[in-house]
Structure 1
Amino acid sequence: MVKENLEEVERRISEACRRAGRNRDEVTLVAVSKTKPVSMIEEAYRTGIRDFGENKVQELCEKHEVLESDIRWHMIGHLQRNKVRQVVDKTVLIHSVDSVRLAAQIDEEAAKKGITADILLEVNV
């Protein structure tokens, strides 16, 4: 079932890219794996998916430990400052950074680990 669902999503992404005049390679599909069992993530992985999104720090860390090392993890939920050190070196992108204090904490923890953390900054206009 996972394979069939992903094929449909891929078809829809490709069609949207065609309509928008964009190259399909410019779009990243992030499979949201929150609350899903490892077996389902492995099935999606076998279809070629490498970007997975989690919204809970503990769940991301647990899955990071047991799944393939080439998975690109995205932290897609709210991130508390006291949990930053747990995920900063496990994610390729932290979505929903909603405060300067959180951004500063991410920067500080990344510096301690000698890495640069990519984030998406949420701006309320």
Structure 2
Amino acid sequence: MNSNKSLETILKSIPENVKLIAVSKTRSVEEIQAMYDAGQRDFGENKVQELTQKYPVLPKDIYWHQIGHLQKNKVKYIAPFIDLIHSVDSEELLQTINKEAKKNSRVISVLLQIKIAQEETKYGLSFDEALKLLVEKESGKFEHVKIRGCMGMASFTDNINQIKEEFSSLNNFYVSHQKEFDLTILSMGMSDDYPIAIECGSTMVRIGSKLFGPRDYTH
């Protein structure tokens, strides 16, 4: 797939105020470099092991996003360089990120992952749990993290109304608390549902296959 053309096509389909994260999981260093050469700077990885292998060999002005479920014992490997962690789904994970950020003399930006989908397999905080963390952060806890907003994934369904309801519920929470907690990012929408997410207020979309083409799982 022509990186210039695919990037141009996606960028034309999203408003200027929406940031594109190129989901580069399972993609080769060469594919990521080609997308970088086409002008893309934000890349998202699901697995820490993959991210730590790619980071040293790719340009240093890439903004790396951890978008997959993050285990507490893996935080230390990405704490020195990660730009944004999208998937904070528990207070324990936030505490670990804070501890590892402190060790690295950093303040790490994070998003609170909120469970809006119906599937049991999806991770995430409830709205009440997310609000509790925002209040705790405001009161002085977690000095080495900055909660910049929320992330959510809709149910994997063809029911567009359900997807809209789920995205809208997260947008309502985000907008309600945006000013009070200085939130600036609402990360919603992937290759299949990003137009709906944007319609529902998303400011950041995570797109892989529509950008890089279908994945080759044989390697």
Query: Is 1:106 aligned to 2:97, yes or no?
Result: yes
Alignment correspondent of 1:11: 12
Number of aligned residue pairs: 115
The 5 Å alignment of 1:50-89 reads 50-89=41-80
Structure 1, unmatched stretches of 5+, are 18-23
The 5 Å alignment of 1:21-36 reads 24=16, 26-36=17-27
Please state how far the C-alpha of 1:72 moved relative to its aligned partner. Answer: 0.5
Please state how far the C-alpha of 1:2 moved relative to its aligned partner. Answer: 2.0
**1:29 alignment partner, SS class:** strand
How big is the alpha-carbon RMSD for the aligned residues of Structure 1 and Structure 2? 0.9
Distance (whole Å) between structure 1 residues aligned to residue 71 and residue 99 of structure 2: 14
Structure 2, unmatched stretches of 5+, are 114-124, 128-219
Alignment correspondent of 2:86: 95
Distance (whole Å) between structure 2 residues aligned to residue 49 and residue 6 of structure 1: 8
State the percentage of identical aligned residues.
47
Distance (whole Å) between structure 1 residues aligned to residue 53 and residue 76 of structure 2: 15
Deviating above 4 A after TM superposition, structure 1's stretches of 4 or more consecutive aligned residues are none
Please state how far the C-alpha of 1:27 moved relative to its aligned partner. Answer: 2.3
TM-score by length of structure 2 reads 0.51
Distance (whole Å) between structure 1 residues aligned to residue 5 and residue 38 of structure 2: 10
Distance (whole Å) between structure 2 residues aligned to residue 62 and residue 90 of structure 1: 13
**Which of structures 1 and 2 has the larger relative contact order (alpha carbons within 8 angstroms, sep 6+)?**
2
TM-score by length of structure 1 reads 0.88
Alignment correspondent of 2:39: 48
User: Deviation per CA, 1:66-90, whole angstroms, max 9, x where unpaired?
Assistant: 0001111000001100000101122
> Which is richer in helix?
1
Distance (whole Å) between structure 1 residues aligned to residue 87 and residue 43 of structure 2: 15
